[in-house]
Amino acid sequence: MALIVAYDGGPWKGFARQPGQATVQAELERALEELMGAPVRVRGAGRTDAGVHAAGQVVDLALPARCSIPLERMPLALGAHLPPSIVCWSAHRVPAAFHARKSALSKRYRYRIWRGRVPSPFVSAFCHTYAGPLDVPAMRAAAAALVGRYDVSSFAGAARRVSDPVRSVLDCAVQERGLLLSLEVEADGFLYRMVRAIAGTLLEVGRGALAPERVGEVRAARLRGRAGPSLPAEGLCLLWVRYAAHWGLPSPTDPGAWPPPP
Amino acid sequence: MALIVAYDGGPWKGFARQPGQATVQAELERALEELMGAPVRVRGAGRTDAGVHAAGQVVDLALPARCSIPLERMPLALGAHLPPSIVCWSAHRVPAAFHARKSALSKRYRYRIWRGRVPSPFVSAFCHTYAGPLDVPAMRAAAAALVGRYDVSSFAGAARRVSDPVRSVLDCAVQERGLLLSLEVEADGFLYRMVRAIAGTLLEVGRGALAPERVGEVRAARLRGRAGPSLPAEGLCLLWVRYAAHWGLPSPTDPGAWPPPP
């Protein structure tokens, strides 16, 4: 079974289970075990970091043999065992070979910046506040220069090494709606804190500290120090995960299939 | 001076000062006194109830003589003394005769209903969740029947008596955006819990418990028991307050002048 799960990352130490920490994965496993009366392990599509939100996280799990809850009842049944900050949006039957992370074709994240002179009491928990002037067309030009298949080490958190740092950035877009600026990045995989480093780099461009035509050099340098700083966790949200149709999960474009983000 | 103030009503026992209770008015007065070094009293345009939000509450106050903070710096200066759930959006010089409540021509409130089968972790704090089917065109017809100048006692909370219960309901509109249904009501004044009773009545119409053509009778009855129940506080938000231009406050249609609601 696969679940589409939405959460406010604020209260949680990230998605992945960690000893002695309150995490989304641990809460989901506890709720599933309470509901089904047997231990359940889940695997997530993305290991969102402490404080990062998800509208469309996907997890897979092996159902205990005696579970008889129909798929369509799963969101409400599981909801009765979950805190209000974690919601099961829908449940889907998937082939046994399905793996939430490995089967994913791509994931899309959104980083939001609130441009009000003062923070908003309604959206502060779900965005980064930046009040200075921003050159949005320059940010758009820089975002376009980040699309492609390349070694993304320039945007990888220093903490972790990966054997193959080449990823396909399928889309990188800047959208304005009132005082909210959204940066969306879709890729076939992400290194640690990659979207927050891309958002930090685009913010440097927006405030004039980095020329958009120099973003190609930053990208080519494969050195984390050349990009902008990682922006804080609260602005980041995993929007959805794309899978091939035969896995039986909804497409990102199916209306109503994925939870509306903040 | 007048301030436009936004707040998440969740943590507060309403706007109006009450002995021993944490209220928005008490927090504003404490913050202003800390900032200005002298006691300050504020008057609000609307006495929002416990848990009710405001994007555009207006308060007026007499500035202590020695206050030398320029108006444009007031939001950030005051913000340093306010909790994150209360924000001063802007400050305006107003004539001495200005009274936030008495000078108001009208106020506009919005009641939001989240129609998802499960609650949303991102908007639950700012809407009422109702998962059943709703006949939105019937709700629109009922809303239109509530516009006019009449005795609004059918929609007044039982707790308080007023000498003149006649109000002008200038607009009552139903808007759909994805899973969110917004009911907006503009009037020259509101009785206790009036918008929540109107929202409850429109919800009764939407779920088929009250025919839209019977809303005229409900309105004419002037009996609270004939209307639908008051919906919970968290769905309600004071959007803005309208004043005549000579008072120096922005118009509801000035772009960016009023804080974006949740």
CA distance B86 to B28: 8
Domain boundary among B51, B75, B103: B103
Residue B178: its chain A contacts at CB < 8 A? 256, 260
Question: How many structural domains is chain A composed of?
Answer: 2
Write the residue in A84, A85, A124 that is nearest to B84 by C-beta.
Answer: A124
CB atoms within 10 A of CB A237: 29
Residue B98 and residue B110 share a domain: no
8 Å CB contact of B117 and A256: no
Minimum distance, in Å, between the CA of residue A173 and any CA atom of chain B: 23
Evaluate whether residue A254 is within a structural domain: no
Residue B260 lies in a domain: no
Tell me whether residues B121 and A8 touch, CB distance under 8 A.
yes
Option in B79, B123, B261 nearest A118 (CB)? B79
B150, B193: one domain:
yes
Check whether residue B52 and residue B116 sit in a common domain.
no
Among B103, B108, B46, residue whose Cα is nearest residue B248: B103
Q: Are residues B34 and B95 in the same domain?
A: yes
Domain assignment of residue A42, yes or no: yes
Scanning the structure block, which residue is given the tokens 């109503």? Answer: A256
The DSSP-derived string for A135-151 is -HHHHHHHHHTT-EEEE
Max Cα-Cα span within chain A: 60
Distance CA A141, CA A151 (A): 20
DSSP string, B52-109: -EEEEEEEEEPPPTT----GGGHHHHHHTTS-TTEEEEEEE---TT--TTTT-SEEEE
- B163 and B229 together in one domain: yes
Same domain, A150 and A202: yes
Residue written as token pair 């969101």: A75
In B57-96, the residues whose Cβ lies within 8 Å of chain A are 75-76, 79, 84-89
Of A138, A115, A139, A140, the closest CA to residue A127 belongs to: A115
Q: What is the pLDDT of residue B225?
A: 83
Given B8, B49, B135, B188, which residue is catalytic?
B49
Is A247 part of a structural domain of the chain?
Answer: no
Do A111 and A234 lie in one domain? The reply is yes
The CATH code of the domain that includes B96 is 3.30.70.580
- Pick from A85, A89, A115, A120 the residue to mutate for testing the B interface (most B CBs within 10 Å): A120
Nearest of A105, A183, A15, A116 to residue B4 by alpha carbon? A116
> Residue B223: pLDDT above 90?
no
| Chain A residues in contact with B117 (beta carbon < 8 A) | 75-76
Q: Kindly identify which residue of chain A lies nearest to residue B255, measuring between CA atoms.
A: A178
- For residues A228 and A134, state if they share a domain: yes
Rounded CA separation B49/B51 (Å): 6
Contact assignment for A76 to B256 by CB distance below 8 Å: no
Task: Give, for B35, the enclosing helix (H) or strand (E).
Answer: helix B24-36
Inside any domain, residue B161: yes
Question: What does the pLDDT read at residue B158?
Answer: 65
Nearest chain B residue to A259, by CA: B120
Of the three residues B51, B78, B103, the one that is the final residue of a domain is B103
A85 closest CB neighbour out of B7, B121, B178: B121
CA atoms A152, A158, A164, A170: torsion sign: negative
Expressed as residue numbers, the domain containing B68 is 2-103
Lowest mean pLDDT among A71-85, B49-63, B147-161, B228-242: B147-161
Q: What tokens does B219 get? A: 């309105």
Q: What pLDDT, on a 0 to 100 scale, did the predictor assign at position A159?
A: 58
Residues B99 and B110 in one domain: no
Q: Which of B205, B244, B38, B234 is nearest to B128 (CA)?
A: B234
Looking at the fold, whether A33 and A64 belong to one and the same domain comes out as yes
Token code pair at residue B204: 């009764």
- Give the Cα separation of B86 and A173 in Å (integer): 32
In a domain, A261, yes or no: no
What is the Rg, in whole angstroms, of the alpha carbon atoms belonging to chain A?
Answer: 19
Tell me which residue in A7, A118, A178 faces B121 most closely, judged by beta carbons: A7
Q: How far apart are CA A189 and CA A198, in angstroms?
A: 14
* B97 plus B114 within the same structural domain: no
Say whether A80 sits in a helix, a strand or coil: coil
What is residue A145's predicted lDDT score, i.e. its pLDDT?
97
Question: d(Cα B185, Cα A136) in Å, to the nearest integer?
Answer: 36
How distant is the Cα of B128 from the closest Cα of chain A, in angstroms? Answer: 14
Q: Which residue has the tokens 């209220």?
A: B23
| Residue B7, pLDDT score | 98
The stretches in chain A having pLDDT less than 50 are none
- Whether residues B23 and B133 fall in one domain: no
CB within 8 Å: A261 and B122: yes
Is A215 within a domain?
Answer: yes
Residue contact A6–B260, C-beta within 8 A: no
What pLDDT sits at residue A131? 93
**CATH code of the domain containing A190:** 3.30.70.660
Which of B69, B103, B137 is the C-terminal boundary of a domain?
Answer: B103
Its ipTM equals 0.90
The question of whether A49 is a catalytic residue gets the answer yes
Range list of β-strands (E), chain B: 2-7, 42-44, 53-61, 86-92, 106-114, 128-129, 148-151, 166-177, 180-187, 236-242
| Contact between B179 and A84 using a beta-carbon 8 Å cutoff | no
Closest CA of chain A from B39, distance in Å: 24
The answer to the question of residue A197 being in a domain is yes
